[in-house]
A and B are shown apart, each in its own frame.
Chain A
Amino acid sequence: MVGLQYLSGDISGGNARCIAMLQAFQDAIRDYTVPSEKTLVRDLTAKISSYVSFLIECRPLSISMGNAIRFLKSQIAKLPLTLSESESKSSLQSDIENFIYEKIILADKAIVEHAVTKIRDGDVLLTYGSSSAVEMILLHAYELGKQFRVVVVDSRPRLRGKLLLRRLVEKGLSCTYTHINAVSYIMQEVTRVFLGASSVLSNGTVYSGVGTACVAMVAHSFHVPVIVCCEAFKFHERVQLDSICSNELGDPDAISKVSGREDVNDLDAWANTENLQLLNLIYDATPSDYVSMIVTDYGMIPPTSVPVVVRKYSREQVWI
């Protein structure tokens, strides 16, 4: 079910996908019974792996989801053998509950608290695409009565910025909406750039929705500080230098067709042309040079300090 929602794009955004997956696992564990002559630890791990492979079939996992799965598996492995079936099931369920609450919901709150201090009256804040953390920051700052303006930059084909824009405008924020083509024009008046991230890698590279790198680079060249908001559970020890490897490819039709504009059909029926390849990347990697600061639940850190968080985070996970 959740997998199909990923496939159709009903659930998108790192946090939403992760929470949906964990909740699906919770349901799966609730419905799970240990087959005879098997131990819970081994069998459940195998079961979870099969679920995960189904999810991967629907849409490749994001790094945050990978982290969450790793957490769940380690929890299963650590279950004492003395525990009865129902006890271990309920303990796993509460573990997942805690994970969602601590690592995602509380983390977001902490990020909002930290990041709001960086918004001053008269600021013009730019954001790209739609990030739940950034949205919360903007709304919280608005509730605090800060006077600022928001520029929402968007790009085809997913146009997720429209959703963010709608929610912000409904709340009464003053917004400007533009597409990424105009980012160099609008950047002149921007005082801060807030970006969400799918993951932060240990060399400080920010792995996020395609276009983020472009926005960050333009902001850098205009000397506008770039603040990336990312929960610590999305950090990963991998090092990646470009965005082609381990990226996700989207539907090529999405970039060849323009919804609502049937007259733009130059690429129709080109699917079989051999010397044409439509490339619809989902993510890109922003080098740490263009990121001024990363806001996480542990506080505000420069991108060079990411390994510290990664180390601390993984150690903490072992402790749990």
Chain B
Amino acid sequence: MGAPKKSSARVSEDHDELVRVPLQAILIADSFTTKFRPITLERPKVLLPLVNAPMINYTLTWLESAGVEEVFVFCCAHSKQVINYLEKSEWFNQPNFTVTTIESQNSVSAGDALRVIYERNVIHGDFVLVSGDTVSNMSLTQALLEHKERKKKDSNAVMTMVIKRSKTNPAIHQSRLGTDEIFMAIDPDTKQLLYYEDKADYSKGTLHLENSLLADNPSLSLHHDKQDCYIDICSPEVLSLFTDNFDYQHLRRHFVKGLLVDDIMGYKIFVHEICSDYAARIDNFRSYDTVSKDIIHRWTYPLVPDVMNFGNTTTKLERQGIYRASGFGTKIGNNTKILNSVVGEGCKIGSNVHIEGCYIWDNVTIEDGCKLRYGIVCDGVTMKSGSALEPGVVLSFKVVVGKEFVVPTYSQVSLLQQPIEEDSDEELEYADSTSAITSTLDKSDGESDSELSDTHFNPASELGFGGVGYIWPKCEGGHEEEWRHSVAPITEDKILEAVKALEDELELILDGNTLPPSGELKPNSIDSDEDDNDDLRDDFDKEVEETFLRAVHENIQENHLTLEVNSLKLSYNKIAADCAGALFYAMMKYAVDMPHSSAERLTQNVQAVLAKWKKVLTSYLNDMDEQIEVILKFEEMCLESAKEYAPLFAQILHYMYNEDIIEEDAILSWEDEKKEADESDKVFVKQAQTFIQWLKEAPEEDEEE
């Protein structure tokens, strides 16, 4: 119902612009990671079914509805499959929506992909950069508008990132989508992104921000409850940036951080936060599970199965959130329970089967009495009778699970052997090995069939009697990660474990008393600044005093002294009040050190010094706070270092008032401040009482007159 409204609004906006550039989008149909292995060895991630429709369909449908007119699909791994799919689908012959594929075999990262696109020279204006596994229903109009406005004002605003609020689990530092907690620093007024960290070190519980970050920005908000939607609105400069910096590989880790750190070019990144719209990227098995559930629960409306019917089948939503497709060819036996699951086309499910939280793709055969919990079962899998899947299992294409065999938790089963890790860099490794495998797969399906029959005769199959497939040995590093990213819900003991670890850490920290408890994000630099301040105070005062004495003895001009004090102020990072205080201290010290026989002589000394250097002092006394600081300093001196002044306090104060060094308001508010102080502190207030009284009465008299 909202759609026609939106489109009409957009059309009118377009008319406003003199030169109309069609909105373009780059869709990267490759994630350049290995998170979806072993499935992605045989099929590209963007073609994996998400609630029975390939992921790329969701992205393309959204782009089309959001008003994008030209999409460049960048294919790398399994590019043939992606192109074949797109050719068969209706995407190539839509009116007002063109899909172009760009193929590259040797790209190993998103950075490479963008470099290839730049060479093609097809992007002319602002474009939307997404990956092919994004599910969203957000309207781009607002974000685009913001981006363009900013671009007009500041040509360095090259990118707008879309973010969404999402609470992370404090125990395991992970969002619902299974991604790590992200820390961002955002300027609340301009929405400029100032800091981005997706791999924070939780063990310390602290976050390090650059000093300059705090110094340069009047306000700054730190977020750790935002989720990066991986939808970026970019200006064409982004592509050339990638070409200029050939070592940029990862969009976030290299590009975003690179831009934020690099202050020579001054490029800026901004964020756009969406509230009611949906946007998420499928990054791992857990987000696959989460996003599937969100689609079923219709948070992604209108991208829901019964609205966006792909292919020939029509899906209907029935009571209690059940979607049922007609003409699907899936048979389900008697007394079978299926809960929170998605079952694909042409499946045969026997009787007395229990399926919970599973994603079962097409043409799967599940025989009687099987038990499946929280797993992904790919096309063509056969589960012999009585077999079972423990939570978190992934069965890749055409695997056969033998009779009565129980697949252990978090195991990944494939017909293909796990590729040997050749390179520690996961991105490089992925591209290399997949390209090798695509070539073998592309040859023919028959070969894999023969392979299948080979293993079939192997009595010592890893998957029980009559089973086919390899259980991938768990790699060392991945062991910790698997429960974080699997489809299975995180078990309570894992969370408890994490909570416990956190508590231990906290205790440790509290015992050591060295670091603030984690969770409280104290920017460290502020702390250190304060510490430094204490250390530096004495130094600063001394420096100022020396400078002043030098000025007196060498007859340096007033403005030169001001200059020197100013430079000291900057180098010690002080404020004007500090300078005034220090300078005043120096003057009084000088006056007291001058030879004097009596109190009157001392007063004269002070008056002479103050008269001479008044200009320097007053240049720091623009504000009331600074004047109060001077009075306080004076008070402090009278009490401690120069007791000679004590009886002369009121007299000198009066003199300073007459000389306009200190204004009436400052004296009155100083008195105000002292009202609550101890009796001992009030000595000087009392001394100056008559003077203050006079001050208070003076204006009244003025009025009367």
Residue positions of A touching B, CB distance < 8 A = 188-189
Contact = CB atoms under 8 A, between A and B. Distances in A.
Contacts of B320: 189
3 contacts: A188-B319, A189-B319, A189-B320
A188 B320 CA distance: 11
Nearest to B275: A260
Nearest to B320: A189
B298 to A, nearest CB: 13
B357 to A, nearest CB: 14
A189 B318 CA distance: 12
Interface residues of B, number: 2
B141 to A, nearest CB: 15
A189 B322 CA distance: 14
Interface in B212-264: none
A188 B319 CA distance: 10
Contacts of B319: 188-189
Give chain A's interface secondary structure class: helix
Nearest to A188: B319
Nearest to A149: B320
Nearest to A185: B319
Interface string B314-341: 0000011000000000000000000000
Contacts of A189: 319-320
Interface of B: 319-320
B318 to A, nearest CB: 11
Contacts of A188: 319
Nearest to A124: B320
A189 B320 CA distance: 9
B667 to A, nearest CB: 43
Give chain B's interface secondary structure class: helix
A136 B319 CA distance: 28
B8 to A, nearest CB: 15
A171 to B, nearest CB: 15
A189 B321 CA distance: 12
Nearest to B276: A260
B613 to A, nearest CB: 60
A212 B573 CA distance: 67
B659 to A, nearest CB: 55
A173 to B, nearest CB: 16
A189 B319 CA distance: 9
B337 to A, nearest CB: 13
Nearest to B321: A176
Nearest to A260: B276
Nearest to B319: A189
A88 B234 CA distance: 78
Q: Which 3 A-B pairs have the closest CB atoms?
A: A189-B319, A189-B320, A188-B319
A125 to B, nearest CB: 14
Nearest to A186: B319
A151 B651 CA distance: 81
A68 to B, nearest CB: 41
A72 to B, nearest CB: 45
A176 to B, nearest CB: 8
B700 to A, nearest CB: 42
B484 to A, nearest CB: 22
A209 B320 CA distance: 27
A229 B233 CA distance: 55
A162 to B, nearest CB: 16
A175 to B, nearest CB: 12
A124 to B, nearest CB: 9
B169 to A, nearest CB: 14
A233 B319 CA distance: 40
A309 to B, nearest CB: 38
A206 B320 CA distance: 31
A150 to B, nearest CB: 13
A123 to B, nearest CB: 14
A121 to B, nearest CB: 15
A312 B26 CA distance: 77
A188 B318 CA distance: 13
B491 to A, nearest CB: 15
B299 to A, nearest CB: 13
B416 to A, nearest CB: 40
A29 B320 CA distance: 54
A289 B274 CA distance: 49
A222 to B, nearest CB: 14
A24 B319 CA distance: 49
B297 to A, nearest CB: 11
A32 B320 CA distance: 58
B142 to A, nearest CB: 14
A41 B320 CA distance: 61
B4 to A, nearest CB: 16
B543 to A, nearest CB: 58
B533 to A, nearest CB: 44
A74 B319 CA distance: 55
A49 B319 CA distance: 54
B43 to A, nearest CB: 34
